[in-house]
Amino acid sequence: MTTLTTPQRDFGLTGEQTDGDIRALSFSTPNLPVRVFQNGGHVEIGSRAIVVNPGVTPVPFYPSGLRDHIAPLGAAFLREVSLRSDTTLVTLALDRLSAPADLCSAPGWRRLDTLPGMASVPGAAGLPLFRSPRDRVTTIQATPDRLAPTLPPGPPQCWGVFMNLWFAPAGTACLIHNSHPFLEYHVQISGDGAMQKFRRNDPSTLYENQYLAPGAAHGIYAVQPAGDGSFLYPWHQYVARTDCLWLAVELVPEGPAPKPHTSDTHTGQCCHH
């Protein structure tokens, strides 16, 4: 197996929340404010923003009085809408994001081959793939097969939800791999990218190209337990077709969910964050 593991408050761009809790994530910058809204509340989206729903229930909103929603484990590119959520939302405000490559000089960003354990990975040396700091966003409650239908059913578990940004310049193929110690999906933030799947660890065996425009999220892939606590994926990689910025969302298993009387079974939210 090949494994890859890897703040100011500014309310002017994505509005504000009238109740609940809010904080900037560790990779938030003045040019890309990233905030998490927790414990319910009303969120007003003003100018352009990508809104990520890391929970297991839809988040409704009502443009022109019609009901729409952000899918579970999904995202949407929105403007001038109101959202009411009983769980966690993450917003990335895009109006000031003119040069995504400049984010790589922000505190905590590192090139892939300088991350722990990555220097010896074939193809990593010198690869222009950069990662932001990683932040824990929330904890969700779900059975494994609800998150990935190919996983065997079982009792509800708690899953820690972690997020970080990646950046790569145009033409970068970000290494084929097939194992992670977590479930993951990605949300495109800027540029045109693609997730590719392969039959083997060989780029000539490509069998699926999934193109990603800003606001698009791909679902969790058909994974299987690897037997050592990690997950076996189809061989896959991200490819930056233009200069690309994207968000990685990682769901880390953290043991059995609390009993129903200590958790919110409606939202799928665990009793701790």
pLDDT one-digit tens code per residue, 18-40:
455 899 999 999 999 999 998 77
Residues 6+ apart with CB under 8 A from 201: 2, 176, 178, 235
For the entire predicted model, the pTM comes to 0.89
Among the residue ranges 7-11, 17-21, 218-222, 251-255, the one predicted with the least confidence is 7-11
Answer yes or no: is pLDDT of 273 > 70.
Answer: no
Question: Under a CB-based contact definition with an 8 Å cutoff, are residues 239 and 173 in contact?
Answer: yes
Answer yes or no: is pLDDT of 177 > 80.
Answer: yes
pLDDT at site 157: 96
Among the residue ranges 4-8, 178-182, 225-229, the one predicted with the least confidence is 4-8
Token readout for 10 is: 């500014």
Task: Determine the average pLDDT of the residues in 49-56.
Answer: 96
C-alpha separations of 224 from 74, 95, 151, 200 in Å: 21, 39, 6, 16
The 10s digit of each residue's pLDDT in 66-101 is 788 999 999 999 998 888 878 899 999 999 999 999
The 10s digit of each residue's pLDDT in 97-115 is 999 999 999 999 999 999 9
Question: Under a CB-based contact definition with an 8 Å cutoff, are residues 213 and 243 in contact?
Answer: no
Q: Is 31 exposed, middle or buried (0-12, 13-18, 19+ CB in 10 A)?
A: middle
Token readout for 60 is: 């409704």
Integer Cα distance of 246 and 175 in angstroms: 15
Integer Cα distance of 52 and 88 in angstroms: 9
Q: β-strand 81-85 against 41-45: which pairing, if any?
A: antiparallel
Q: Phi and psi of 147, rounded to 5°?
A: -85, -40
